[in-house]
Amino acid sequence: MRYLVTARVKPGRRAALDRAVDNGSLGRGSIAGDEYQHNMAQARERPDGRVQWVETCFCAIPLDEERPYWEAYFDLEQVKDAHDRRRCRHENGEEAWACSGCDCTAKLDTWLARQGRPFRDRG
**Strand-pair partners of 117:** 45
Quick one: pLDDT at residue 97?
54
Q: Is residue 116 part of a domain?
A: no
Beta strand 51-56 pairing with 2-9: antiparallel
Phi, psi of 6 (to 5 degrees): -120, 125
- pLDDT of 29 reads 93
Domain of residue 90, residue span: 2-105
pLDDT in tens, 57-99: 777 888 999 999 999 999 999 999 877 666 656 566 665 555 5
CATH number at residue 34: 3.30.70
3-state secondary structure of 40: helix
pLDDT score for 123: 46
Res. 106 pLDDT band, cuts 50 70 90: confident
52 within a domain of the structure (yes/no) = yes
Overall number of domains in the chain: 1
Domain for residue 115, yes or no? no
Nearest CA to 100 out of 44, 52, 34, 22 is that of: 34
For a pLDDT cut of 70, what percent of the chain falls above it? 82
